[in-house]
Amino acid sequence: MTGPVRLSLGRTRSVCPECLDTIPAERFAVGDTVYLDKTCPAHGRVVTPVWRGLRSYDVWSRSPRATALPVSVKTDIAEGCPRDCGLCADHRQQGCCVLIEVTSRCDLVCPVCFASAGRHGVDMPIDEIGIALDELRSGSGQVHIQLSGGEPTVRDDLPAVVALVRAKGFDFVQLNTNGLRIGREPDYLAALADAGLDCVFLQFDGVSDAVYRQLRGRDLLAAKRLAIASARAAGVGVVLVPTLVPGVNTGEIGAIVDFAKQQMPTVRAVHFQPVSYFGRNPRAPSDEDRITLPEVMEALIEHAGGAIGLEDFRPGSAENPFCSFSGRFAVDRSGRFRSDPEPGTGCCGSQTGNTTGEAGCCEATTWRSPAVARAQRYVAGQWTKAPQEEMPAAGLEAFDAFLEQQSQRLSLSGMAFQDAWTLDLDRLRQCHIHVAKSDGRVIPFCAYNLTDLQGRSLYREPST
């Protein structure tokens, strides 16, 4: 036998990166890498690496699949996935976190941007935000809200927007931001916190200005530090969100974790996002332009020097397992990680779910998905500010030690967004991160941001 052994791992559907037509696709492994292989009748074959690490692929593929029907169906099935989003009756998960793009303006113009935002965008009028929230509440139920953009903090009325989200009955509000304004104006963040902001989802690509210059076009590390200082003063939890680009900041994964430890308990988590090629990334990426989730886990494990292992990370439990990983770790006084295993998050509350493939271990339900509710509780518990320390009290040291240990836990997670090359419609159908449109539709994040090779989008309106 000659040539590498090709191991087929199942069939799915994807899109052609040139025309976005839905086409059959196959997952296969050669060596330690899993690829997505598809051929468009008009534009030819595309093979893209999606997972480099067969050991974790095996673990992730045995993870239970939690599925649920949408709380409400807003669109008819006509052209088929991914062109009917709203959600349609074929979607198989409910919203966990829903993004509202409150502006298309931005005070940075980054080479890497999901949103193709620029300086000359527009704000969504606040009454329109109110309508979108009402639609969301009736159509999706109790979801977490992420205020996104553009850069939301270009709006002076953002505290009123946060207050509106709260007044509409949503329990958790996070702000997706580059951190520039909140760092410069601590009072602005304090006003957001007073209005009910729970968490700052802070774009944080590295610990050296070289990284920011390459990804964002200017030095930003000092601005990031100021943003964290403002969050500390305002009592808001911070999640550091690095966009990982091979050759630019993948060498700083460990250093970002060390930085996060130094900034605890204000910094509660690091949420890595391997770069995806949509928005302002219209060129066809090469295999070397991609880093996959198991490579991020490997870098984290290696950096921890034996303190943590693959068994400390778990697949996404509400979304498709291959969309994410997460682990939560105690940090001891010397700054070293200690594995802090949690009870299993198997579907239906069981510790060990059955592997039943697409159908999942729960019957699809039209009521609130328990897996989504659990994912929301995890985020609300870990990504907000740590519990305040109590004054010491004699005899109660055991309680205090436990509470301090809780505040000294750091969550490390990653989410792999899909682009036109990596899109696997089995994964997309289980997507639980959605974007709210003002007409009441909610679009799964990766469908919303999907662009073809020329940058044309299915759902996103062109930036104005």
Partner 1 sequence: MTGTSGDIPDLVCARCDKPLEMRKVEASYLGQTFPVELPCCPSCGFVYVSEELASGRMLKVEQALEDK
Dihedral-angle region of residue 9 (phi above 0 means left; psi in -120 to 50 means alpha; beta otherwise): alpha
At its nearest, how many Å lie between partner 1 and the CB of residue 389? Answer: 10
**Nearest to partner 1 of 90, 400 (CB atom):** 400
Give the separation between CA 314 and CA 317, rounded to whole angstroms: 8
- Contact residues: partner 1, CB under 8 A: 342-343, 377-378, 381, 387, 390, 393-400, 402-403, 406
**Nearest to partner 1 of 259, 383 (CB atom):** 383
Q: Is the peptide bond before 152 cis (omega within 30 degrees of 0)?
A: no
At its nearest, how many Å lie between partner 1 and the CB of residue 383? Answer: 12
CA-based nearest residue to 161, from 177, 180, 145, 181: 145
**Nearest to partner 1 of 99, 412 (CB atom):** 412
At its nearest, how many Å lie between partner 1 and the CB of residue 379? Answer: 11
Phi and psi at 181, nearest 5°, equal -75, -40
At its nearest, how many Å lie between partner 1 and the CB of residue 342? Answer: 5
At its nearest, how many Å lie between partner 1 and the CB of residue 398? Answer: 4
CA 396 to chain centroid: 39
**Nearest to partner 1 of 208, 406 (CB atom):** 406
**Nearest to partner 1 of 13, 328 (CB atom):** 328
**Nearest to partner 1 of 140, 382 (CB atom):** 382
**Nearest to partner 1 of 268, 280 (CB atom):** 268
Tally of residues, the chain: 464
**Nearest to partner 1 of 328, 429 (CB atom):** 328
At its nearest, how many Å lie between partner 1 and the CB of residue 189? Answer: 25
Give the separation between CA 419 and CA 378, rounded to whole angstroms: 27
Q: Please, are residues 248 and 262 in contact by the beta-carbon 8 Å criterion?
A: no
At its nearest, how many Å lie between partner 1 and the CB of residue 105? Answer: 37
Q: Is the peptide bond before 150 cis (omega within 30 degrees of 0)?
A: yes
Dihedral-angle region of residue 217 (phi above 0 means left; psi in -120 to 50 means alpha; beta otherwise): left
Residues near 286 by beta carbon (within 8 Å), at least 6 away in sequence: none
The single-letter code of the amino acid at 107 is D
CA-based nearest residue to 14, from 41, 42, 37: 37
* CA quadruple 255, 256, 260, 262: dihedral, nearest 10: 30
DSSP alpha helix (H) spans, 62-179: 126-140, 158-167
At its nearest, how many Å lie between partner 1 and the CB of residue 265? Answer: 13
